[in-house]
């Protein structure tokens, strides 16, 4: 079984400031890792994922996340945020075996203030 902990339920930051959203996971088997984003009044969208290879993965809108196996973490970072990044962010894992049965964290609400 897997579990995901997102340490911060809410993160307020000022525009153009850096941000880190923390995610730790627990699993008895190897996993794949994902970050999903839910913008206001929209459905969940995949932001980025780690399947294998380089432990640093990037999204098209400037977010990056680094898989740290020893610390069982997959923190999400962005060096300079924009108002449009305001959303709820969900970290998720799935076993490498079988289907994408995702186990989600509780979510982190990122609020960008001007």
| Segment interacting with another protein (CB under 8 A) among 20-28, 38-46, 55-63, 74-82 | 38-46
Q: Closest Cα partner for 65 from 32, 112, 27?
A: 32
Output b/e per residue, 17-28; b: 16+ Cβ within 10 A.
Answer: eebebbbbbebe
User: Is residue 28 a contact point for another protein (CB under 8 A)?
Assistant: no
49 lines the binding site for another protein (CB under 8 A): yes
Contact code string over 72-111 relative to another protein, x by CB under 8 A: ------------------x-x-x-x-xxxxxxxxxx----
- Among 92, 110, 113, smallest CA distance to 47 is for 92
Q: How many residues bind another protein (CB under 8 A)?
A: 24
Phi, psi dihedrals of residue 26, rounded to the nearest 5°: -135, 135
DSSP state of 83: G
Question: Please, which residue, 15 or 24, has the CB nearer to another protein?
Answer: 24
The reply to whether 46 sits near another protein by the rule CB under 8 A is: yes
């Amino acid at each position: 079984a897997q579990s995901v902990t997102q340490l911060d339920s809410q993160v307020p930051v000022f525009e153009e400031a850096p941000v880190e959203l923390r995610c730790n996971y627990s699993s008895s088997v190897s996993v794949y890792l994902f970050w999903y984003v839910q913008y206001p009044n929209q459905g969940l969208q995949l932001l980025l994922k780690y399947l294998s290879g380089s432990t640093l993965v990037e999204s098209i809108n400037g977010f990056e996340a680094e898989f740290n196996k020893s610390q069982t973490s997959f923190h999400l970072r962005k060096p300079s945020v924009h108002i449009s990044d305001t959303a709820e962010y969900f970290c998720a894992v799935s076993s490498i075996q079988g289907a994408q049965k995702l186990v989600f964290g509780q979510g982190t609400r990122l609020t960008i203030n001007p």
